[in-house]
Chains A and B, each alone.
Chain A
Amino acid sequence: MKKKYLVTIYSIAIFFFVVLYLSLNKNNIYTTQENIGKKISVIQLNYFDKPGEFNIQEISNFNFTLLNFWASWCGPCRKEHKHLVELSRNSNLKIIGVNFKDDKKNAMEFLKEMGNPFFILTKDPEGKKSVNFGIYGIPETILINKDLKILKKYVGPLSDKDVREIQRIIKK
């Protein structure tokens, strides 16, 4: 009888230990990677320096599009900018910038200083439209194909590794 109790208690203890061990070893950093494979929301974004709106649907005219959310006040955006300039040299890829909650004058100075890699530049001064793309901080970059499908989503500044990965994908 005592043996039975011990077996039960040990089984329960092992069960909880395994559950806790697995939970503690799980990566709990939040990412929006589950958006990969989904179609991008079709919405209108205001042009940065001219009146009118850019319809996201229009990116189906390009083979690959990189949608980059940035601001002049964001330090990591400054860090990744050289990578965007490098990527903009690929004819197979168009970069669309979304200037996020920024001051127009500062944003223009930023581009003047660092270079303008954007094929089309739009703005989201209140940050509300970016919610449609699952943005929760900047910089964030989304690689989309001509079917408007999300191929990759990068949270944080693009690294050398990310650039190589993007170049590999758009060569296919």
Chain B
Amino acid sequence: MRVLSLIIISFLIITISYGNESKTYKILKNLRCLVCQGQTISDSNSDFALTIKEVVTEKVNEGLSEKEIYYFLSDKYGDWILFNTPLKKNSYLLWFMPYVLFILGGAILYIMIKKRTEKIK
């Protein structure tokens, strides 16, 4: 019985720590190193990146959600620290422009093809 509970506890500890580790890694991959050239915090070994890695690991262990950690960091360093820019008033153009261009391009293509087929007929 004791052995069984020991196995279950060890399994739970390993699962939780692995879960936290992958969550930390996911967050670090989405953070920009502010003092490096286009590197993520996860990829960088700069002094700043090492500090942020420690802070994020601590926050994950404290039980903060991914969203809460992003909010904390963007509050301190601005949205620039996030690779995944949040949807805000000043980022509407960034988020919706590709869709607008896609629809516009499709419409132009449709009109061109339609006119060409009409001509052939």
Query: A residues bordering B, Cβ < 8 Å?
Result: 8, 30, 32, 34-35, 38, 41, 101, 126-128, 130-134, 136-137
Which of these, A8, A126, A133, contacts B76 with CB under 8 Å?
Answer: A133
- A136 and B54 within 8 A (CB): no
9 contacts between A and B (CB under 8 A): A30-B80, A34-B78, A101-B47, A127-B47, A128-B51, A130-B51, A131-B55, A134-B76, A137-B35
Closest B-chain residue to A41, C-beta based?
A: B76
Name which of A34, A101, A130 has the most chain B CB atoms within 10 A of its CB. A34
- A132 and B48 within 8 A (CB): no
Task: Kindly list chain A residues whose C-beta atoms are within 8 Å of the C-beta of B54.
Answer: 126, 128
Tell me the chain B residues, 73-115 only, with Cβ under 8 Å from chain A. Answer: 73, 75-78, 80, 108
Task: Kindly list chain B residues whose C-beta atoms are within 8 Å of the C-beta of A127.
Answer: 47, 51
- Given contacts A8-B108, A30-B34, A128-B58, are A134 and B77 in contact (CB under 8 A)? yes
B52 in the interface (beta carbon within 8 A):
yes
Complexed CA–CA distance, A45 and B90 (Å) = 35
Which of these, A35, A133, A137, contacts B48 with CB under 8 Å?
Answer: A137
Complexed CA–CA distance, A24 and B47 (Å) = 29
Query: B residues bordering A, Cβ < 8 Å?
Result: 34-35, 47-48, 51-52, 54-55, 58, 73, 75-78, 80, 108
Closest A-chain residue to B33, C-beta based?
A: A136
Task: Kindly list chain B residues whose C-beta atoms are within 8 Å of the C-beta of A30.
Answer: 34, 80
Complexed CA–CA distance, A134 and B55 (Å) = 13
Known: A126-B51, A131-B76, A134-B76. 20 other contacts (CB 8 A): A32-B76, A32-B77, A32-B78, A34-B78, A35-B76, A35-B78, A38-B75, A101-B47, A126-B54, A128-B54, A128-B55, A128-B58, A131-B55, A131-B73, A133-B76, A134-B77, A136-B35, A136-B48, A136-B77, A137-B35
Complexed CA–CA distance, A137 and B77 (Å) = 12
Taking the closest CB of chain A, its distance from the CB of B48, in whole angstroms, is 5
Task: Kindly list chain B residues whose C-beta atoms are within 8 Å of the C-beta of A35.
Answer: 76, 78
- B78 and A131 within 8 A (CB): no
Task: Kindly list chain A residues whose C-beta atoms are within 8 Å of the C-beta of B77.
Answer: 32, 134, 136
Complexed CA–CA distance, A38 and B108 (Å) = 47
Taking the closest CB of chain B, its distance from the CB of A46, in whole angstroms, is 16
- Given contacts A126-B54, A137-B48, are A132 and B108 in contact (CB under 8 A)? no
- A131 and B108 within 8 A (CB): no
Task: Kindly list chain B residues whose C-beta atoms are within 8 Å of the C-beta of A34.
Answer: 78
Closest B-chain residue to A15, C-beta based?
A: B101
Taking the closest CB of chain B, its distance from the CB of A26, in whole angstroms, is 13
Task: Kindly list chain B residues whose C-beta atoms are within 8 Å of the C-beta of A134.
Answer: 76-77
Taking the closest CB of chain A, its distance from the CB of B109, in whole angstroms, is 12
